Amino acid sequence: MHHLSSGLKEAMRKVPSAVALVTGRDESGQPHGMAASAVISVSMDPPSMLVAVNRTAGLYPVVEATRRLCINFLAQHHEHLLEPFSRSDMRGQRFVSPEWADVEPSAPGRLPWLPNACAVVCGEVDKAVPYGTHTLFIVRVLDVLRPQELPMECQPMVWLEGRSVPLAPVAA
C-alpha cells in the first residue's frame, strides 16, 4: 500500500492544479482556512463544487459544524498568502493581510474572502463523504463573488512539482 501511496503522490506532483484558500467561520465568529488544490467543480445544475479536506486540518471541524465554506482561487500575486495557510504553526498569521474582506467576527453571516482573487465561490455543504484520511465535501454554490479591481487577465496560481509556477498567456 505504501508503494501505491508514494507512487500516486509522485504522479500527482506532475499534474498542474489550481490553488485555493478555503475559508470558513466557526460558531464563535473566528475565521479559519487552509490551502487546497483538491477542489473541482461537480455540476452546473445544480451548481456545485467538491472540496477534499483532511480530517486533521483545523478547518475540518469548522466546516463539519457550520456546513459553510468559501473557495478563493488564488492569482499569482497571492503567493505571499499561501505559506500561512499551508503551515499550522503560522495559523495566527492567516488573516492578517488587509487583502481579506469580512474577516472580523462582527461580519455575521459572511465568510472571509479575497476581493482580488481570480474567482470566489461560497456555498453550503450538501453531502459529506468520508474517504481515507479526508472528507469530500460536495458544496451547493450559493454565491459567486465577482472580484474587484482585477486586472483584465487574472494570472491564476498553479501548483506543479510542489511549487507555484506561472502560466504563459494564451494567444488571442
Domains of the chain in sequence order: 17-165 (2.30.110.10)
Choose the weakest-confidence range: 59-63, 111-115, 159-163, 166-170: 166-170
Q: CB-based contacts of 117: which residues, under 8 Å, 6+ apart?
A: 72, 73, 74, 75, 78, 147
| 44-56 burial: b if 16+ Cβ within 10 Å, else e | eeeebbbbbbeee
13 near 135, Cβ under 8 Å?
no
List pLDDT tens digits, range 72-124. Answer: 999 998 999 999 999 999 999 999 999 998 876 665 678 999 998 999 999 99
- pTM metric for this prediction: 0.91
List pLDDT tens digits, range 40-86. Answer: 999 999 999 999 999 999 999 999 999 999 999 999 989 999 999 99
* Residues constituting the chain: 172
| Confidence band, pLDDT 50/70/90 cuts, at residue 153 | low
Burial class (CB in 10 A: 0-12, 13-18, 19+), 123: buried
| Confidence band, pLDDT 50/70/90 cuts, at residue 166 | confident
Rg for the chain, CA atoms, rounded: 16
CA atoms within 13 A on the CB side of 107: 14
